[in-house]
């Protein structure tokens, strides 16, 4: 619906939460850093730390402070921010979704989710090459070998 109406998804969703004020800037100083950071990590499915520091103009200490607050806010939830040396990623805590249920959803998700264009092209090319290879070998005359039928050089 969002593309049809030419509106951002956030403009289509209403909330009764008095703590959310979409008209306010994303950051109100360092107090809003944790919310901004969570939003960016979720929106872009993780971000490189250097990109965050560079684009937001933050110091490493400011990022670490926002991460500390964010970690406290996410502690009672199923989510956590995983930080490596280079990247921040929003992930589920281990064992939140039991393996059997996760497997069911993954199988359905894979069946419902179409291939991305690059993968579809690669799969199609591979199938064509394989079919061409099989066709070439099928039309080729085969030599029959019998055990003991060939001579050794003498």
11 CB burial (10 A radius; 0-12, 13-18, 19+):
exposed
Per-residue pLDDT at 154:
53
Q: Using CA atoms, how far apart are residues 126 and 117, in angstroms rounded to an integer?
A: 14
70 CB burial (10 A radius; 0-12, 13-18, 19+):
buried
Are 15 and 48 within one domain? yes
The three-class DSSP label of residue 91 is strand
Q: What domain count does the chain have? A: 2
Per-residue pLDDT at 110:
72
Beta strand ranges found along the chain (DSSP E): 47-48, 79-83, 87-92
Range of the domain at 119: 99-139
Per-residue pLDDT at 25:
41
Structure tokens at 38: 């969570």
Q: Considering the domain boundaries, does residue 119 fall inside one? A: yes
Are 58 and 107 within one domain? no
Q: Considering the domain boundaries, does residue 65 fall inside one? A: yes
Record the pTM.
Answer: 0.53
Are 53 and 121 within one domain? no
What does the mean pLDDT of the chain come to?
Answer: 79
C-alpha distances in Å from residue 146, one per residue of 15, 140, 149: 80, 19, 5
Q: Using CA atoms, how far apart are residues 62 and 34, in angstroms rounded to an integer?
A: 10
Per-residue pLDDT at 132:
80
Are 75 and 124 within one domain? no
Mean pLDDT (whole number) for 41-45: 95
Per-residue pLDDT at 108:
80
Per-residue pLDDT tens for 89-140?
999 998 899 999 988 888 887 776 677 788 888 888 888 888 887 777 666 6
């Amino acid at each position: 619906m969002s593309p049809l109406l030419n509106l951002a998804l956030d403009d289509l969703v209403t909330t009764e939460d008095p703590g959310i004020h979409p008209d306010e800037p994303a950051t109100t100083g360092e107090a809003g850093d944790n919310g901004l950071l969570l939003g960016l990590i979720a929106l872009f499915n993780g971000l490189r730390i250097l990109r965050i520091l560079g684009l937001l103009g933050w110091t490493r200490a400011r990022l670490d402070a926002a991460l500390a607050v964010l970690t406290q806010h996410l502690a009672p939830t199923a989510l956590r921010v995983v930080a490596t040396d280079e990247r921040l990623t929003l992930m589920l805590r281990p064992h939140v979704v039991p393996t059997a249920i996760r497997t069911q959803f993954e199988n359905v998700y894979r069946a419902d989710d179409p291939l991305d264009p690059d993968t579809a092209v690669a799969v199609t090319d591979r199938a064509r090459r394989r079919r061409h290879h099989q066709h070439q070998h099928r039309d080729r005359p085969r030599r029959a070998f019998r055990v003991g039928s060939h001579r050794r050089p003498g």
